[in-house]
Amino acid sequence: MKLSACRLAEQIAAILRKDFLIGIRRRATFAAMMFFALTTVACLSLSMGGVSLAPNFSAALLWLVIFFAACAGISGTFDDEANSGTLTTLKLYADIQAILFGKMIYVFLSLIMLAIFIVPIFVILFDVDVTSGGVLIATIFLGLIGLSAAGTLTAAITVSATVKGGLFSILLFPITLPIFLPAIALTETALTGTGFDADLLIVMTIFDAILITASSILFDYLD
């Protein structure tokens, strides 16, 4: 059904509010992401024994932690509706695009909270020097947008899968790889303060737009 922009925004806000209330009450999504990220970073830091990592390796490691922590949390984005059998009913009362973007914004805000939690811990435990905080913030922001768009669509695709955990990661990684490659390069720049390439931010922005558009188109064809 076609809706006005105002009505669509109201539906998106309602779905976002519903998901946050469920998330706060159950805390499963947030706990899964936070504890996975914290445990991974702590174990890696202890195993390194205080040895400093090269900036490129630190950048790649940070994004790997973010990726797998995100997988632990956002793979179940549609589980509440699927388990209670209300997903079909939700589609009757809300526009399909409102469902997608309500879920996508919820995932994005959840990942923002994950980044706020884990990045400072990563910096402290690995004794990383952040030379350009602005580049790091912009990179994480753009990277999480793409991860949210791809993750929401992948969660919808795998909602009925019996081996969701492994399948979700397998499907999501190649989709988000074009985002992670420039993100790692820019994160390395943020740590070293040299070699900044603004074109990489443009590339990330373009891929974000592609992922959001593709998710919007493909979501209409999901049952």
Q: Residue 178 has which token pair?
A: 């074009």
pLDDT at 47: 84
* Banded pLDDT at 2 (limits 50, 70, 90): low
Measured CA to CA, the distance from residue 59 to residue 206 in angstroms comes to 21
For residue 223, pLDDT over 60 is answered with no
pLDDT at 59: 93
* Identity of the residue numbered 33: M
* Banded pLDDT at 112 (limits 50, 70, 90): very high
The 3-class SS string of the chain reads CCCCHHHHHHHHHHHHHHHHHHHHHHCHHHHHHHHHHHHHHHHHHHHHCCCCCCHHHHHHHHHHHHHHHHHHHHCCCCHHHHHHCCHHHHHHHCCHHHHHHHHHHHHHHHHHHHHHHHHHHHHHHCCCCCCCHHHHHHHHHHHHHHHHHHHHHHHHHCCCCCCHHHHHHHHHHHHHHHHHHHHHHHHHHHHHCCCCCHHHHHHHHHHHHHHHHHHHHHHCCCC
pLDDT at 80: 72
pLDDT at 204: 96
138-197 pLDDT tens trace: 999 999 999 999 999 998 888 766 566 678 888 899 999 999 999 999 999 999 988 888
Q: Is the separation of the CB atoms in 155 and 75 below 8 Å? A: yes
Average pLDDT of span 54-72:
91
Q: Which stretch, 45-49, 126-130, 163-167, 186-190, has highest mean pLDDT?
A: 186-190
| Full-model pTM | 0.89
Measured CA to CA, the distance from residue 110 to residue 117 in angstroms comes to 11
Which is more confident, 19 or 150?
A: 150
* Identity of the residue numbered 149: A
Measured CA to CA, the distance from residue 135 to residue 92 in angstroms comes to 43
